[in-house]
Amino acid sequence: MTESDIGVRKALRGVAVSPGIVIGKARLVDRSKVKIFYQYLLGDDQLNREIERFEEAARTTEDQLNAIKNGMPEQLKGHSFILDSHLMILKDSMLHDATIQRISKEKINAEWALKKSLEEIRWAFNQVDDEYISNRVNDVENVVERILRNLSGDEQQSLSHINERVIIVAHELSPGDTSELNPSKVMGFITDAGGRTSHAAIIAQALQIPVVVGLESATKVVGEGDLLIVDGNSGEVIINPDDEVIIEYQEKHLRHEKYKSSIARVSHLPAITLDGHPIVIKANMEFLEEVTAAREHGSEGIGLYRTEFLYLKSKELPSEEELFQDYREVAEIIAPEPVTIRTLDLGADKFASRHEIDREANPALGLRAIRFCLKEPEIFKRQLRAILRASFYGRVQLMFPMISGLQELLDAKEIMGQVKDELNRENIEYDHSIKVGIMIEIPSAVTMAEILAQHVDFFSIGTNDLIQYALAIDRVNEHVAYMYQPFHPALIRMIRQVVNAARDAGISVSVCGEMAGDPFCVCILLSLGINELSMNARAIPIIKKIIRTISIEEARADFENVMRLSTAKEVQAHVSNRMKSLVPELAEKGYFEGWDYLLD
Amino acid sequence: MIRMELCKKIKIMNDLGLHARAAARIVGLGKQYKSQLFLKKGDREADGASILSILTLSCPKGTEIEARIMGEDSEAFMERLSQLLERGFEESR
């Protein structure tokens, strides 16, 4: 491979973590400059000030646009229309008035409200078939970007202020980095490090931008300004492609978009198998804003609410009130459907500033999640209080992560009992029959499932971590990312053991890892006796469609065949073949280049 | 105050349909009048003062829309709007 010859086609292959195809210019980013884009709730007394802050930023934006327009050189005057339309968009009721209404009604900060308005406008433009018109959403994004920049003062360096449409190339992006990426500007990103289930990947999916990680040498091979094609479906990154390749990828992109809209139309209907078994489909979420997407995509509740974001976004620990408001809002929006809130799943390293904990050599095996919470009961109690208080306002379930054995579960329940006593003493209302469950993600918990099932209301199998711990792979280590194998026969046997234990104890069991939203895994999970799946909201339409083509009886019969296979490769080939016979129209259309292709 | 409401069916004549420039012209025209304009296509109605609302109504060439104008100077507004739309925004293509 000649790396320096511009125009010579070069390609890298990594791990595709967030689907879609983009073509754009590379922007190399030194991630040390990054700040977080804050979202916060306001008190009633702050609303007017926040509206004024937004108006002020809008006025500044207007002045800037006028200044640019007036300063245009003579030969460009013909293009001033674009600035006129931006000025019009700036004052448009769908943007300006809607944002002010959001600030005062939803009591959220201007940036957040503006972003929400943009989302709604973007949604409206998405409905338009005419590409010429739907592309105009770029102008709206331009204006919003400008307002956002003015709202934040002079933080020009942060990733949220990249004001060109670019593909970010970085060694690695932290969850904080990716959560501040402005999806209206950043077309996609590629990184040297990272694996399929790294948090950055999860956030990228929420942002709905194509991402390929684990490329190892992207920051060395790609130059600033290179033209890139990022295929978030196959994991391929092409550097300086020729016209033919660009056209090929544009066609791929269009085909994908068409297919997606055809399945989205029936996603609100329940998922019932051919032989009449209903399967419960829920959504995973991390940010408050995702609740609406979950509903829109036809989910029947939130099966996993990751609660880390509030702890990561600020240096200070979030207050009980802040946590409570957040959980309450999710519970209220999703009601009457349930939300399962997972308690803190962070490592002690995230709290290093407050707690003098040495840097761990193996954080994934270290003091994190429930272990950390049990060691820091005050932090744990604060969150439990907030969750319990929120349970009064909807259907809340509580879930402990990283349980490795019975003692931890009993200790966690003991602390929860203390918190309940406190609330009782203070006459604070909560759901006294709140359901408590655990994540099954450590191999020892699989082995102990039979015993653990006696003490909880439900199990949720976190396949991401379970695969990592069972197969001994570091999920962000690019050298072993390929070993992340959902079809490993060991994993299939582990899931079966958990399902059997749950069934014998009469408790429910769901899968909430990425496997749940993987079209190729559905059939196997159903055949194992799983009847509840929780996934990235965007996967719901395709998963529902596939479930409607499956007969549980047949799937169970086929499972006997799967159990006779002894390598992940064999299982994968078997599943691939089966999928082709189950959903032939998918196969015909050539969508089997990678299952991610089926998702947004 | 005289409160008048006028309705008129108009066919979009210009090649590009109600794209950004055309929508901006409509919004700009509306600013010269006190009356309010609504554009209806099928069962959806767009606010004639909002460029985003008009754009997302999605009206390619040949679309039949209904313009509804409410207010005291609705007649004059309707006349100018019809002219603009019927002449295809005087696009030279």
Per domain, the residue ranges of chain B are 5-88
In contact, A474 and A481? CB cutoff 8 Å: no
Q: Which CATH superfamily is domain B5-88 in?
A: HPr-like (3.30.1340.10)
Please report, for the domain that includes residue A211, its CATH number: 3.50.30.10
Which residue among A126, A151, A176 closes a domain? A151
Catalytic option among A96, A161, A488, A512: A512
**How many Cβ pairs closer than 8 A exist between chain A and B?**
54
A92 contacts B53? CB cut-off 8 A: yes
Indicate the residue of B17, B24, B52 with minimum beta-carbon distance to A140. Answer: B52
Answer whether residue A560 is part of any domain.
yes
A5 belongs to a structural domain: no
Distance CA A23, CA A167 (A): 8
Q: Which residue of A has its CA nearest to B61?
A: A130
User: Among A99, A133, A151, which residue terminates a domain?
Assistant: A151
Percent helix, percent strand, percent coil in chain A, to nearest 5: 55, 15, 30
Which residue of chain A is at minimal alpha-carbon distance from B28?
A88
Looking at the domain assignment, is residue A167 inside a domain? yes
- Residue A4: which of A220, A305, A304, A249 has the closest Cα? A220
Read off the pLDDT of residues A246-274 as tens digits, 9 standing for 90 and up. 888 888 888 777 766 766 777 888 899 99
Q: Which residues from chain B sit within 8 angstroms of residue A136, using beta carbons? A: 19-20, 55
Which residues of chain B have a CB within 8 Å of the CB of A125? 55-56
Considering the entire predicted model, what is its pTM? 0.55
Q: A472 — phi, psi (to 5°)? A: 55, 55
Residues A332 and A191 in one domain: no
Query: Could you tell me if residue A3 is inside a domain?
Result: no
Mean pLDDT along residues A15-19: 82
**Is the dihedral angle over the CA atoms A113, A119, A123, A129 positive or is it negative?**
positive
- Which DSSP letter does residue A33 get? G
Do A195 and A164 share a structural domain?
yes
**Range of lowest pLDDT (A66-75, A104-113, A244-253):** A66-75
Residues of chain A found within 8 Å of residue B60, distances taken between Cβ atoms: 130
User: Confidence class of residue A304 from pLDDT cuts 50, 70 and 90?
Assistant: very high
Record: contact B55-A136, CB cut-off 8 A: yes
Same domain for A342 and A193: no
Helix (H) or strand (E) holding A26: strand A21-28
Task: Give the distance from residue A133's alpha carbon to the nearest chain B alpha carbon, in angstroms.
Answer: 6
Residue A287 and residue A194 share a domain = no
Can you count the helices (H) and strands (E) in chain B?
A: 3, 4
What ranges make up the beta strands (E) of A384-461? Answer: 395-400, 435-440, 458-461
In a domain, A183, yes or no: yes
Select from A69, A83, A92 the residue whose CB has the most chain B CBs within 10 Å, as the one to mutate to test that interface: A92
Respond yes or no: is residue B19 known to be catalytic. Answer: yes
Residue found by looking up tokens 């060694």 in the block: A171
Q: Catalytic one among B19, B25, B40, B41? A: B19
pLDDT in tens, A334-355: 989 999 999 999 887 666 555 5
Q: Which residues of B touch A (CB under 8 A)?
A: 16-21, 24, 27-28, 47, 49-53, 55-56, 58, 60
ipTM entry? 0.88
Distant-in-sequence, close-in-space partners of A92: CB < 8 Å, separation ≥ 6: B50, B51, B52, B53
Closest-approach residue (CA) in chain A for B47? A93
Last residue of a domain, one of A262, A279, A299: A262
Residue A441 within any structural domain of the chain: yes
Provide the 3-class DSSP secondary structure of residue A91. helix
From chain A, pick out residues whose CB is under 8 angstroms from the CB of B53.
92-94
CA dist list (Å): A460 to A117, A127, A171, A340, A436: 35, 36, 33, 10, 11
**Best A90, A129, A133 residue to mutate vs chain B (most B CBs within 10 Å):** A133
Phi-psi region of B36 (alpha: psi -120 to 50; beta: other; left: phi over 0): beta
Put simply, the answer to whether A133 touches B58 (Cβ < 8 Å) is yes
Q: Are A131 and A168 within one domain?
A: no
> What phi and psi, each to the nearest 5 degrees, are found at residue A312?
-90, -25
Give per-residue pLDDT as tens, B47-85. 999 999 999 998 888 899 999 999 999 999 999 999 888
Domain housing A170? 10-36+158-262
- State percent of chain A over pLDDT 70: 84
Domain count, chain A: 3
Are the C-beta atoms of A293 and A116 separated by less than 8 Å? no
A471-526: pLDDT as tens digits? 998 877 778 878 888 899 999 999 999 999 999 999 999 999 889 988 888 989 99
Beta strand pairing call for B5-11 and A211-213: unpaired
Q: In this complex, do B52 and A92 lie within 8 Å of one another by their Cβ atoms?
A: yes
Residues A71 and A199 in one domain: no
- Statement to judge: residues A253 and A327 lie in one domain: no
Identify the top-confidence range among A63-77, A118-132, A454-468, B21-35: A454-468
